[in-house]
């Protein structure tokens, strides 16, 4: 496969490089040619990859004129809107990590553990979901298939790396007493119930993304969902409290085993030994960690889950590379 990374110098771009390296080393993906793109600011910079060095090129309309099969984009919405259609018109399949294309009816939005079949109707652009949504649906999907889901309440505790280098730097600088540049308030020693911009209805765009993207990935356009998304002073790893009301009765032990045996999930659910998922230990991992599984007594068939994953990996790079592997058989 001839593969390009667009936004290679960014937070997610760097994770793309790491995850791709691991997938190649493990024989899960074969890359014959490898290209790196970013803005003009980074042109000429050399980045290490698989024992070699690759020069970053400025992304232009001509970047895809050389028969690139797959491009992983994480360079912001504006670059995706401008360049993904150009890449697609040259026969490249774009896996786009921005929110620009996710809700477009002609663009599949994929989490491989949930809807891998949607890759088949792509027309050159495939959307990678919002980080918080990706990890949530990995946990919700097995419950939906077995019991049906009636309603979901999301409350998130999200790491600063979800806001790119700027978010990361705000926490580093803030810990040294300096003022924030990316966030509207200090993040060190604080938490901000504000991720992405505010919408007219008082929700944030992040909360809208979680609601709409969950419905699209799970093919449940009317599923009742609400969300509150909060930024916390953690570098990497998003945590989520997920409250789900199911359509049918369940045995807690059976539900727990179902999650334990589902793809992409690692169960950490032994409260007697203080075992539960935490962002510090999810850092660098590709799986979604699930624990604190308990019955919600306030409704007939409710369950609470605590779900943690590395937002730069399963929330972004790993999910995109998994999609590239789904494509591998066709390119
Ligand atoms: P650069 O480093 O040259 O600015 P992050 O979200 O961590 O800040 O990373 C954003 C990534 O997207 C970086 O690699 C950045 O490159 C890249 N990028 C931003 N705007 C563009 C653009 N217009 N064209 C290509 N790459 C871009």
Q: Looking at the predicted structure, is the pLDDT value of residue 194 above 50?
A: yes
Q: Considering only CA atoms, which residue is closest to atom 2 of ligand 1? A: 9
Q: What is the pTM of this model?
A: 0.96
Tokens of 102: 């996710």
329 pLDDT band (50/70/90 cuts)? low
Distance CA 129, CA 323 (A): 11
Q: Is 194 a catalytic residue?
A: no
pLDDT per position as a tens digit, 288-313: 999 999 999 999 999 999 999 999 99
2-128+316-327 adopts what CATH topology?
Rossmann fold (3.40.50)
Q: Considering only CA atoms, which residue is closest to atom 22 of ligand 1? A: 39
Average pLDDT over residues 181-191: 98
Q: Is 131 a catalytic residue?
A: yes
- Tell me 160's DSSP state: G
Distance 105 CA to ligand 1 centre (A): 26
CB 240 within 8 A of CB 306: yes
Distance 82 CA to ligand 1 centre (A): 13
Cβ neighbour number for residue 185 with a 10 Å cutoff: 13
CB 154 within 8 A of CB 228: yes
- 85, burial (CB in 10 Å: exposed 0-12, middle 13-18, buried 19+): middle
Average pLDDT over residues 206-223: 98
Distance CA 240, CA 207 (A): 13
Looking at the CA of residue 166, tell me the nearest atom of ligand 1.
Answer: 8
Residue of 131, 144, 194, 325 marked active site: 131
CATH class of 132-311: alpha beta
Q: Considering only CA atoms, which residue is closest to atom 21 of ligand 1? A: 39
Average pLDDT over residues 13-18: 97
CB 99 within 8 A of CB 76: no
The SS3 of residue 141 is: helix
Distance CA 155, CA 17 (A): 30
Average pLDDT over residues 176-197: 98
Residues with CB under 6 Å of ligand 1 are 7-11, 13, 38-39, 41-42, 59, 75-76, 79, 164-166
Please report which helix (H) or strand (E) contains residue 273, including its range.
none
pLDDT per position as a tens digit, 119-151: 999 999 999 999 999 999 999 999 999 999 999
Looking at the CA of residue 11, tell me the nearest atom of ligand 1.
Answer: 7
Q: Looking at the predicted structure, is the pLDDT value of residue 59 above 60?
A: yes
Average pLDDT over residues 301-326: 98
Q: Tell me what pLDDT residue 70 has.
A: 98
User: How big is the CA angle at 67 (ends 65 and 73), to the nearest 5 degrees?
Assistant: 80
Q: Tell me what pLDDT residue 2 has.
A: 97
Average pLDDT over residues 15-25: 97
Q: Tell me what pLDDT residue 245 has.
A: 98
Integer Rg of the chain from CA = 20
Residue of 92, 144, 208, 238 marked active site: 238
Q: Looking at the predicted structure, is the pLDDT value of residue 284 above 70?
A: yes
Distance 319 CA to ligand 1 centre (A): 20
pLDDT per position as a tens digit, 87-116: 999 999 999 999 999 999 999 999 999 999
328 pLDDT band (50/70/90 cuts)? confident
Q: Looking at the predicted structure, is the pLDDT value of residue 330 above 70?
A: no
Please report which helix (H) or strand (E) contains residue 96, including its range.
strand 93-96
Looking at the CA of residue 7, tell me the nearest atom of ligand 1.
Answer: 14
What residue spans define the domains of the chain?
2-128+316-327, 132-311
CB 151 within 8 A of CB 222: no
Q: What whole-number percentage of the chain has pLDDT above 70?
A: 99
Distance 10 CA to ligand 1 centre (A): 6
Q: Tell me what pLDDT residue 331 has.
A: 46
């Amino acid at each position: 496969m001839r593969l390009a990374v667009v936004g290679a110098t960014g937070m997610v771009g760097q994770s793309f490089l790491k995850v791709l390296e691991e997938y190649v080393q493990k024989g899960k993906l074969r890359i014959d040619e490898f290209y790196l793109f970013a803005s003009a600011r980074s042109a000429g910079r050399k980045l290490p990859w698989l024992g070699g060095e690759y020069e970053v090129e400025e992304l232009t309309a001509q970047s895809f004129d050389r028969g690139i099969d797959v491009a992983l984009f994480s360079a912001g919405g504006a670059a995706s809107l401008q360049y993904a259609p150009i890449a697609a018109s040259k026969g490249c399949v774009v896996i786009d990590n921005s929110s620009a294309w996710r809700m477009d009816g002609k663009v599949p939005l994929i989490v491989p553990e949930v809807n891998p079949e949607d890759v088949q109707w792509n027309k050159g652009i495939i959307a990678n979901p919002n980080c918080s949504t990706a990890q949530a649906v990995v946990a919700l999907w097995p419950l939906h298939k077995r019991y049906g889901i009636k309603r979901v309440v999301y409350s998130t505790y999200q790491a600063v790396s979800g806001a790119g280098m700027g978010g990361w730097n705000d926490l580093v600088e803030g810990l040294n007493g300096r003022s924030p540049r990316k966030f509207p308030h200090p993040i060190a020693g604080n938490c901000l119930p504000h991720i992405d911009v505010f919408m007219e209805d008082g929700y944030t765009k992040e909360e809208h993304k979680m609601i709409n993207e969950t419905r699209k990935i799970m093919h449940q356009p009317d599923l009742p969902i609400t969300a509150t998304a909060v930024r916390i002073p953690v570098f990497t790893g998003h945590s989520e409290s997920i409250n789900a009301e199911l359509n049918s009765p369940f045995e807690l032990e059976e539900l727990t085993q179902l999650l334990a045996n589902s793809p992409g999930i690692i169960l950490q659910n032994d409260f007697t030994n203080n075992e539960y998922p935490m962002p510090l230990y999810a850092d660098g991992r590709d799986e979604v960690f699930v624990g604190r599984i308990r019955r919600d007594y306030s409704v007939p068939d409710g369950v609470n889950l605590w779900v943690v994953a590395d937002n730069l990996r399963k929330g972004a790079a790993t999910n995109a590379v998994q999609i590239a592997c789904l494509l591998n058989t066709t390119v």
